[in-house]
Amino acid sequence: MFDKQATNITTPISIEQYCATPHALTSSNGQISSPIDKQLSKHNQQRQVKVTTRNFLTLRHLLTGRNLLCVVPELMAKMDLFSNKLSFARAPIDVPDFKIEILWETRNDQHQKNLWLRKQVKNTITGHVAKLKQP
């Protein structure tokens, strides 16, 4: 995803354009690399991660009006929540599937209300993703 006006990205995105544009990265664990960087290294390429965020919900605001791009799941890019003024295109490399994680405090790991809530969140997300994948 990217702001077409702020980045001047043309599609399809070339690997050179992809690596030359600063990246935003969603990282729940604080890491500034991902399997995408391993893929790029296979092509003797490297991206520039300039900013990280802990969740996908802040990306719309982070990318709007800035020379940044961020790799997100295709279904997320198509959601109305993320569509205002942002564009999306396929990355010029194969992007591994995203791992969706739910974070909670360790002390609540076996708390019944927390277990119930995590189950509800998982079922809701799984159901929503299944609907989005339907033609």
HEC-encoded secondary structure of the chain: CECHHHHCCCCCCCHHHHHHCCEEEECCCCCCCCHHHHHHHHCCCCCCEEEEECCHHHHHHHHCCCCCECCCCHHHHHCHHHCCCCECCCCCCCCCCCCCCCCCCHHHCCCHHHHHHHHHHHHHHHHHHHHHHCC
> pLDDT grade, residue 12 (50/70/90)?
very high
Q: Could you report the per-residue pLDDT of 39-95, keeping only the tens digit for each?
A: 999 999 999 999 999 888 888 889 999 999 999 888 777 776 655 688 989 999 998
**pLDDT for the residue numbered 135:** 75
Of the CATH numbers 3.40.50.720, 3.40.50.2020, 3.40.190.10, 3.65.10.10, which one belongs to the domain with range 4-82?
Answer: 3.40.190.10
**pLDDT for the residue numbered 19:** 96
**pLDDT for the residue numbered 81:** 65
**Every domain of the chain and the residues it spans:** 4-82, 102-135
Place of tokens 């890491």: 31
Mean pLDDT over the full length of the chain: 88
> pLDDT grade, residue 7 (50/70/90)?
very high
Q: Could you report the per-residue pLDDT of 34-50, keeping only the tens digit for each?
A: 889 999 999 999 999 99
**pLDDT for the residue numbered 14:** 94
**pLDDT for the residue numbered 59:** 86
- CA 55: distance to chain centroid? 8
> pLDDT grade, residue 27 (50/70/90)?
confident
Average pLDDT over residues 111-131: 90
How far is the C-alpha of 34 from the C-alpha of 5, rounded, in Å? Answer: 27
